[in-house]
Structure 1
Amino acid sequence: MTDRIRVLHVDDDPAVVEAATSALEQAHCGITVETETSVADGLERLDSGTFGCVVAGYDLPEQTGVEFLDAVRKRAPDLPFVLFTSEGSEAAASDAISAGVTEYIRADGGAEPYARLAHTVVDAVERTADDIEYTQSTRRERAIEELHTTARAFMRATTEDAVAQITVDTARTILNMPANGVHFVDGDSLYPVAWTERVEDFLGTPPVFEAGESLAWQAFETGEAQVHDDITSIPGGYNPETDIRSEIILPLGDHGVLLVGSCETGAFDETDVTLAQTLSVHATAALNRLDRDHQLREEREFIDQALDTLDDLFYVVDTDGSLRRWNERIPEVTGYSHDEIDEMSVSEFFPGDEHETIASAIHETRTSGRVTVEAEILTADGERIPYEFSGSRLTDTDGAVSGTVGIGRDISQHKAYEQQLERQNERLDEFTSIVSHDLRNPLTIAEGNLELARTECDSDALDKVSRAHERMRALIDDLLAFARAGETATDLESVALADIVEECWQSVEDERATLVVEDNRQIRADTAKLRRLLSNLIRNSVEHGSEGAQMSADGDADQFGGGVTVRVGVIDGMDQHGFYVADDGPGIPDDDRQQVFEGGYSTGESGTGFGLKIVQRVAEAHGWTVTATESEAGGARFEVTGLDPA
């Protein structure tokens, strides 16, 4: 039972009022009686406060108690009303009951009428409170059940405007809030997007609320719900002249606000607020879902656009062998439409003789995690195109295999290049065969006959023949090295520069020369070809540097100190990485620095002119560049660049 009960007693008989007040206040310590002597004063008092019960006489100034009852019922249909009068008749009682009186008691009827009055008032207030609580509980339960049904409509909504309209319709029909509307935020403004006809009756077209100028913006900015029994008493209102009195303002997350209004003060109870908040939660969840869906669509469109720009095939293969996803390149290359691809299995993109290869590759991907395989795809027109496929395993959140993702790269040009290299290598093999057999064999015979000739006679002419043979054999060796240097560097491995340099130094070491390895680094290279390149550069520095030192020793001053120092180090710059071989010999004139790499160019009598040409060919086979320049000591410096950074 309510702890405090305010009773309004309207009667112009002071004795009745005094006795009734005393009985009521004695019957319940929480009862407070307020009195008026006329209907007009009673209605004014009723409008100014909240009462738990009304007690009135029948014969009142200007109006009867039944007429007073009728006016009360229009204001508060559920408010208990007890007609307590010493004058009555069956007609008066009938009128009171027809008007909806809670109880009719004769002040002069029976024993202790005032005690009966007190008991009746307390009982009526309790029953009314129980009825109201039951009605509110039933209404809440029914509304919540209907809101769950509306939640499904929210989940089916595909636009923000649709969510706003569902919100407005639900508040009107299910929550019995005929005046409501939804505003969405756009920049620093809240724009109306959906509202009821009753809102237009009150306001016309709902206004746009700018930042900081309304209670609606305040609720949106703070994210806190606002419930006002009389907004005319609240500072910060948008329109002080509005007919709206009560208002519920509920934020819809980052999207906007739901506004519910009434022209009556105190129009919304706790049930109204709770139901409206439940509705706002559903609406906010729906708007958040649309935001996430929109972001996901944008991300997917961005990813699809990025994948479609690839020249390579992109694909995701499901566990059943069908394509789950692919980029635009696949229909462009294969000639199949998207609808056709959607119905195809992976094996249908390959000729029969490749099926086992593809099936094995998919199996290996799912077991080992990654695989690369070459296979020819079969287009809709029957064309076979060689591709290299790199696939990786896909797993779900539990670690189970969910498919395969991969890239397919057209290797037609690579295959054509390989065939071209194969033909070139065949020609090189033919050439080296001629050089090594058809030239070396006659040379060997000539050298043998030369030795026989030496036993028969002693002539300076035979020494010239011997030197010619040596020259020919050097040329043959360098021609073979030159031919083999042009082969593509395919047997790549990581080697230490210092280790290879030391090996090369053993074959060209000269007592007049000194080796200094200034730095070290790991290099990915064909070891045999790198050894040939470094040997030729080091030998070039030793031979030409020593010749320069000897020439200086024959002159007036020993410019080079009687020997040459060969230095090997690394190059690490912003734009280039590599290594160098430098010496402190006589160097190379500016005009000859490009010419030294031409075949047959040599400044020495014993040189074949192929040493540096071989260096250039080996560098090119690795994708490197070799240049000649001047060392810090004024000698020759050869720089090999284009290596990948360490």
Structure 2
Amino acid sequence: MTTGQRRTETLYEISLAIRQRGSLAETARAALSAYVDHLDCSAGAVLERTTGPSYDLVAAVPSDATDLEAYEQAHRRLQRRRDRTDRERFPLSARSSDETRYWLFELPGFGVVFLAGDALDRQTAHALDAVNEQFAAACRNARETEQLRAERDRFEAIFDAIQEPIVTAVYKDNEPIIRRVNDTFLDVFGYDEAEVIGMSVNDLIVPDDQTQRTEARGIDEQLASGEPVTREIRRQTTDGMRDFLLRAVPVDADDSNEYVGIYVDITTKGRQRRFEWLYNETREILASKDTETICEHTIATSRELIDFSRAAVYLYDRDEEALVPAATTGGSHEWEQYTDDGSVAWDVYRSGPRWFEDLSNCERTVPCGEKHGSALFVPLGEHGVLMMSTDEPGSFEETDFQVAKLLAVIVETALDRALREQGLEEIQSITRRILDAEDHEDAARGVLDQLPNVLDMPISSIWRYDGADDALEPIAMSDGALELVDEVPTFSGDESIAWRAFNDGETKLVSDVPSHGAVYNEETPLHSEIIMPLGDFGVLVTASTRRGSFSEGERRLLETLAANVETAMRLVSRRHERDLLDQVIARVLRHNLRNDLNVIQGHATALTDHEESRAHAEAIIEHCENLQKTAQNARRMREIVESSGETTTLSLPEAVDHALRRITDHFPDTDLTVEVESTPRIVAHPALPTAIEQLLENSIEHGRSSDAAVGIRVFEEGDTAVVEITDDGPGIPQEELDILDQHGESALEHGSGAGLWMVDRVVEYSNATIEFNTDDGTTVRLRFDAA
């Protein structure tokens, strides 16, 4: 079996172990164990990126892996990376102080995986991208599942407000054991909470009657099999035997058969009918897949629960900055949208439910403009408002108000779920579109062409980080954003919220932009924003002209989109780099091979015509050596580009010494002056010695005609480490320096620029800078941030 086949088999074995399990920790630990086992690593850990300045440990294999010096050093490196604006590219690799090799791989949209051990080679490390994406997706899904469970728990909590007895029980040994009850349950059945938790429901409230006991067992069997129960029963209460309508629904729990039961006193038949309708219609509302159906079911359910003349569901439309009627009991022409703050609908949307006994006393604008009768207004979370009204004052009771509030919570939950599912589908659509983008600008336009409509984010923009200027520069804006901004700013330093989000690597949800301490423009028309970092690429910003416009649910959706956009931008970059490499190598080989083969052919012809052939033979040998050098450069160029994301911590003097050893082997007679004034350590691409060698070779070759002396110097200047190469020759030709501005294959009008092209790539991959001065000879300076 070949090395490549073994690598493929290893990656396949790891991928088989990656799947969502019972919890995030279990998901991470199972996959991490496969990484460690199949890659022959000594230890590993998974860390989740938090909203603060640190990473949280999710799992470690073995459990004491966090005690390793390699782990501690890697963790410190992650902390430093988050504090820097010019972050190193993943994967990161280095040796710890105890000479243990460690690797840090990005889990996009989630965090980082740490591996320790010498068996992992560079080719396998770079082949892990797809597996890491799979691992990250499993972790994100596990985290989302845990959040959904938390949401389910919060949803259950709303039943504490219902004025009916409620119990949550789990079946153990076929007995319904109580986990939680509300206060009404305790009051009605006459117990303290400490008495009921852990007890059987049947032992507490089922009458000591064989018929009732048998009926209770039948109910248990039905619930344990996953079927809901609706049945009239008799139970013992503090007031004696009472008749109830039992509504019990199984809950999809991971580790047990659990159910929630509500006991509706059916002495009053009208109240019974209300809760029957609420129960049945709740299932319909929660099962609805789109907002239109949910709103229509809400109006129909409201009509059966509460006696009113008119009802409407208003939903917030961010594009219009208005509350817009989505479903009503009457013709749509009666119901206008509300764009101002002088209406009851906006008051309720911002502040909470209102009950008007007599609308004639209301000073605010009301729907349909009818200031008579009575009305109930309840907010639907961040989604909008539910309104019900009658023509007569005093038409509603306290029970109506409570039912309306309970219905609003159910509708809010349904809208949350529908918008989340719809949003995730739209995010997948956006992601598929931008994965085929030709460049970053095309990808950014693809996002902003769809984002305003599919996620109701009309004011959106994308900024890209420019390492040379150390600034965030805009590359695409939606039409809504362009209409609001006269001059599009560039962000740098610590002068803006966008820069802070990028620098901190965490999402910023700002509810009141003008009052924020880091606002870029205090006169901005934008009043709320969500700024999401796109890794090292830049930031995605969406905004609104209304304060507090965005919900936590929208934030989570946009963070998912941002993680996908970050991955897409990275893939576009890799594709661009590989295309560029193919263009450059093709140009180098085409030009050099053609020239050298022409010369070889000419000298070979001369050999057949002349007896004095020594000079021609030497020329043939020289040009053959040139061809060999061209092939070597092509190989080096490919190795550099294919490892573009790799950096390592190294000693700058050692990198210089490595380059000098190779140069003196090729040019033993060169007059080289070496000055090492300090010994800084830096983070750079592993091919840095090759780049320094290329610069030295350029100085030597271009200085031969004037017997030039070449010098190299290592020193520190402020917070930067510098390597400086000088010669007093005629200077590097301008056409070769043009390569550093053009980057692409068109820059290589002749093959001699290949060396400088490699230098340019290594400098960019190292997040360094390069300076040329050709006024008197040539001086080249490479500047790096100290590690």
Of structures 1 and 2, the one scoring higher in RCO (CA 8 A, sep 6+) is 2
Scaled by the length of structure 2, what TM-score is found? 0.33
Greater Cα radius of gyration, structure 1 or 2: 1
